[in-house]
Chains A and B, each alone.
Chain A
Amino acid sequence: MTAQISPDSVWVLGAHMNRFARYADRDLIDLASESAMSALADGEVTVDDVDVLACGALFQASGAVGQRIQKQIGQTGVPVYNVANACATGATAIRTVIMAIKSGEAQIGLAVGAEQMGKMGLLGGGATKKEKKVFEPSGRYGAVTGVDGHLGTETMPGVFAQAGMAYAHDHDGVGFEQFARVAYKNHLHSTLNPLAQYQKEFSMDEIMESPMMSYPNTLLMCCPTGDGAAAVVLVSGERLASMPAHVRKRAVKVSASVLTSDPFTEDCQVQPDVNTLTRNAASQAYEAAGVGPEDLDLVELHDCFATAELIHYDNLRLCSPGGAGAFIDSGGPFRDGTTPVNVSGGLISKGHPIGATGVANVYEITTHLRGEAGDRQVEGATVGLAHVIGLASACGVHILEKAAA
């Protein structure tokens, strides 16, 4: 299955990510600018060709990062959108550029995602007031002090652990071992990816016996914090059609670009519902692209924690309904399985510099569809899906297709 260039289509023209790591010697703007310039060079265009720039850097969302990148790569005066959407920030930047191109306002756009987190440690939870001298109700729940730890957990490993355990409650064949196997797979995959923050294989025992963060998520089942940037250059089909053959050949079609938020569900006020909006995004994306889950040659999905990856097998319809446990046990999402998932190592091992994540997974799919993924290449890949989710919530799904020869 390969795609033809129609004038109203949108394509990835250039893509880049740097290795996710902890960079003491470079700042956020260095990382983002390096990726932006590399993506432009990869697409054989210059900053003067860019009609629109969208930028996502979650922890500096009010810091005009897009304009600060321009100071390094070219102040051309084009519109800049600085976007923030939790862990879906990078996907939101890409979608912003795609909408600008689809509207006809832009022919070529640049989307950049970047984050510098260093060793932030545990995210979520404990964002409580200093212990009060006097108990006085405040806020919409009339709380007299912080509720984290008293009324459940607000930590990310815990919130996503509960999402996985809710799935385990409703479906057979899902437990600690299945969640651990997800992490085993992603650590194994990362050994082939030189851009991954960690590139080390761990045994099932090592994973299950590593320090418990929030049962069933052990330390090796949680993504690390880190630094990184990724960028993609997008182009309209109309403009791409006039570009040289060798450029057209490496372009990758965006067959679907979808962003959803979480619709009301009965339990959504006490636990973030990460399922319904992902299911909705997947359905919309499959319909827009005219492909089904069985057509996918590879998937990069949002495995912030092992428990999250497992439930998204079902949400993205990569397995039979309720069959996520059997899917991982059968080897389906491994590199050599029926639907390889997170061959990059995923967030768990490749890393999760938040703003960069949703751009990096589009880079990953693009690289495989071009046949340029080196040792980790999924042979003959022609269709791939990139998924991210940010709590609160936002879900981005992009389906990409290889260009017709």
Chain B
Amino acid sequence: MATARVPLVDYLVLEPEPHLVANECTNCGARFFDRRNACARCGSTDFKPVPVAGAGELRAFTIVHRAAPGIPVPFVSAIVKTDDGTWVRSNVVNCDPTPEAVELGMRVRLTTHPIGTDDDGTEAVAFGYEPA
């Protein structure tokens, strides 16, 4: 039987190809990954879901060596600006967690990976960015 899969967050859509979906303000174009009562930029209350580009640029990162218990370290935390101008926070994956391997401004692309399974056998899937 196939393993059931759920995305770690609801703005990650797994099928048919993994991608992120943002709530875009129809008035000013500001994008949010969470539910907003009104747009933080213009106050409009009308939003539409839009797909977010999978490729982008690494705009900031840190290599985390100390984290809360249960979080494997080191890992690379990243701020990515996608090619359609959307800002995303995630990890850089499939890349050595060293200052030599991670480069500010490098090209990255969205990828997904499983992070655990619950008692019903459902697998949670997270997204990250890998060097492109």
Contacts and interface: CB of A to CB of B under 8 A. Distances in A.
Nearest to A122: B66
Interface string B86-105: 01111100000001000011
Interface residues of A, number: 49
Interface in A26-75: none
Contacts of A128: 68
A147 B126 CA distance: 9
Contacts of B33: 141, 269-270
A133 interface: yes
Contacts of B127: 151
B33 to A, nearest CB: 6
Interface string B61-101: 11111111111100101110100010111110000000100
The size bracket of the interface on B is: 35 or more
Contacts of B91: 149-152
B30 interface: yes
Contact of B124 (A145, A162, A176): A145
A176 B99 contact: yes
B8 interface: yes
Contact of A149 (B11, B71, B105): B71
From DSSP, what is the main secondary structure of chain A's interface residues? Answer: loop
Contacts of A141: 9-11, 33-34
A140 B34 contact: yes
A212 B8 contact: no
A142 B65 CA distance: 27
B59 interface: yes
A169 B71 contact: no
A216 B66 CA distance: 12
Contacts of A134: 118-120, 122
Nearest to B105: A169
Nearest to B98: A215
Interface in A209-223: 211-217
A151 B91 CA distance: 6
A126 B71 contact: yes
A162 B67 contact: no
Contacts of A131: 70, 116
Nearest to A222: B66
B6 interface: yes
B118 A135 contact: yes
Interface stretch (A90-98, A112-120, A153-161, A355-363): A153-161
A165 B58 CA distance: 10
Nearest to A218: B65
B62 A215 contact: yes
A399 B119 CA distance: 58
Contact of A214 (B8, B30, B66, B118): B66
Contacts of B89: 151-152, 270-271
Interface in A164-215: 165-166, 168-169, 176, 211-215
B64 A158 contact: yes
Contacts of B72: 149
A207 to B, nearest CB: 15
A169 B67 contact: no
B50 interface: no
Contacts of B71: 125-126, 148-149
A50 B66 CA distance: 46
A245 interface: no
A215 B60 CA distance: 11
A294 interface: no
A122 B91 CA distance: 20
A269 B67 contact: no
Interface in B12-67: 30, 32-35, 40-41, 59-67
A163 interface: yes
**Across the A-B interface, the 3 shortest Cβ-Cβ residue pairs:** A126-B68, A142-B10, A149-B71
Given A143-B8, A144-B124, A267-B59, 5 more contacts: A126-B69, A128-B68, A133-B118, A153-B62, A162-B77
